[in-house]
Structure 1
């Protein structure tokens, strides 16, 4: 697969403050790639360098084979952006915004088509200040696509949105990828990254400490699975401790049972229960999440080492 973005040994400082110490990554064409990390870890500076908005002190950034420094003007023509705290004048109407942006960035689809595609046709005469959170996100995505870019950068696009608007935003991101556009996104929300991203990189203090698929990051920090169910009081569950990969069996009030282990432990627990005539209707699986892996990688004293 061809590379959409290649970053090699990127470094950027603001006076004595080092924002990006040493970042190298590769974003494949057609994927959603997520940058995760605490505030001040260098995520926004990295994507600004990718877009040609900031000049790195050292290192190299290529976007579809173009140098982000020497070909910055060209790079900006093929990259669409939705940046942190995006906003428009409250009185600017939806259609006016799209028409205005299309004059700045010609070469994309007619702005009227974007109105239809992103569900804004019935809001064409609505002022920006009167749009809901989800409608604003639709507009920002449409504006990012007005020049038909090959890469779209989304920086904390769902911060401050209610759960319904966040779901709308997620569907928009998936729709952008489905039309063949590569997506580079910055987010603080682990459920968002786990839902959307094909691969992620975790930054801490301007350096990448882990990268891979969300599942690989979870597995890399010792992901555990838990089988939960209720059993009749006084049921002998000692046989569960003999199941391969089971680490712990805990019973609680009301017959609550939690069996913790690794690998396909939930399937094995279910098989063992059924083979002994126990068929709990509430058997369910809980497991380690990307948030668990993220905290293990970023919390002081708990940072995992990058593998591979």
Structure 2
């Protein structure tokens, strides 16, 4: 596995509008490579759509962003090649019928087929197997997943994994492609306080190695750069004292988030706009921002990179 080198994430007036209103808008981000950023807010506040938009899987409708100098929405396929998805429910769920070893091998094969260099396919079979095994071992080590500790070792069924073990497995699969940006959704879902602390320690270690990490959560630790989202009903309200919508940490990251409501003017420190539709509706019914389009069929992207379809297929196993 190649040495990680994180991607800077920048956005200005970034927004996405669904069929029932704005999902988010007025987003401003300036995060250095190797940053750990948390998108914090309740379910249905547009946080997953923002994650998918910043990783090139969902087409924004307003403003622009840059990930590793690839501009969105024009270079969505290029962003997908350098941004991998960890666990994102409903997008890249693990196959419950496979064993852990089978899931890892499938992820490695898909990554090699769609994201690896063509010359790698011409190497002798034995050399390819050795290389794949080395990449899997490195990814597991980075994700903190020791197969020997599982109930049946490498032959443990994915369905029998604990929640934190599933997160680590998804992260390991994502790391097989040495992404510059790693994005995770619902990080703290169904985790105890101790497991949540372990999950954040994992993300800190990945960021320390150089990978930029973007994680959606309900509540982030105090030492993480935080973007907070709020439901649409309260998006136009000013945050209470001490509850600023953007808390920049560390000093090399600057985050701003726009104010709510159609026609509103964004300003630093106010709450994010969250559309009336929840994340699932916005992802599945908006013709300009649906998941299928984000998976590689957007017209603006095809004029810049013909590998969009291949990249999208890879995400079903590697992302």
| TM-score of the pair, normalised by structure 2 | 0.60
The aligned length equals 217
Tell me whether 1:213 sits opposite 2:248 in the alignment. Answer: yes
1:131-280 aligned at under 5 Å gives the runs 131-189=161-219, 192-195=220-223, 197=224, 199-204=225-230, 205=232, 210-213=245-248
Tell me whether 1:130 sits opposite 2:160 in the alignment. Answer: yes
Secondary structure, aligned partner of 1:180: coil
Tell me whether 1:306 sits opposite 2:312 in the alignment. Answer: no
State how far apart, in whole Å, the 2-side matches of 1:214 and 1:115 are.
29
CA deviations over 1:99-157 (Å, ceiling 9, x no partner): 11122223496223323443333232211011122211211111121110011112121
**Which structure has more strand as a fraction of its residues?**
1
* Alignment-derived partner of residue 24 in structure 2: 20
Secondary structure, aligned partner of 2:93: coil
Tell me whether 1:36 sits opposite 2:62 in the alignment. Answer: no
Bigger radius of gyration, 1 or 2? 1
Higher relative CO (CA 8 A, sep ≥ 6), structure 1 or 2? Answer: 2
Secondary structure, aligned partner of 1:7: strand
Secondary structure, aligned partner of 1:194: coil
Confirm or deny: 8 A CA contact 1:12 1:18 kept in the other structure. Answer: yes
Confirm or deny: 8 A CA contact 1:49 1:61 kept in the other structure. Answer: no
* Alignment-derived partner of residue 121 in structure 1: 147
Q: How far has the Cα of 1:181 moved from its partner?
A: 0.5
Confirm or deny: 8 A CA contact 1:95 1:115 kept in the other structure. Answer: no
Residue 100 (structure 1) aligned to one of 103, 106, 112: 106
Confirm or deny: 8 A CA contact 2:87 2:170 kept in the other structure. Answer: no
| TM-score of the pair, normalised by structure 1 | 0.62
Confirm or deny: 8 A CA contact 2:10 2:30 kept in the other structure. Answer: yes
State how far apart, in whole Å, the 2-side matches of 1:62 and 1:28 are.
12
State how far apart, in whole Å, the 2-side matches of 1:6 and 1:213 are.
14
* Alignment-derived partner of residue 302 in structure 2: none
- Structure 2: state its 5+ residue gaps: 1-5, 117-131, 252-258, 261-266, 271-319
State how far apart, in whole Å, the 1-side matches of 2:209 and 2:82 are.
15
Residue 58 (structure 1) aligned to one of 62, 65, 68: 62
Confirm or deny: 8 A CA contact 1:3 1:26 kept in the other structure. Answer: no
Q: How far has the Cα of 1:215 moved from its partner?
A: 9.4
Over 3 Å counting, the alpha-carbon distance change for 1:59 and 1:74 in structure 2 is same
Confirm or deny: 8 A CA contact 2:41 2:228 kept in the other structure. Answer: yes
Alignment root-mean-square deviation, CA: 3.0
* Alignment-derived partner of residue 15 in structure 2: 11
* Alignment-derived partner of residue 244 in structure 1: none
Over 3 Å counting, the alpha-carbon distance change for 1:37 and 1:115 in structure 2 is closer
Confirm or deny: 8 A CA contact 1:11 1:23 kept in the other structure. Answer: yes
Secondary structure, aligned partner of 1:87: coil
Confirm or deny: 8 A CA contact 1:8 1:59 kept in the other structure. Answer: yes
State how far apart, in whole Å, the 2-side matches of 1:23 and 1:124 are.
42
Q: How far has the Cα of 1:162 moved from its partner?
A: 2.3
Over 3 Å counting, the alpha-carbon distance change for 1:16 and 1:80 in structure 2 is same
CA deviations over 1:12-69 (Å, ceiling 9, x no partner): 1111321013212122111111222333332211111111111111111210100232
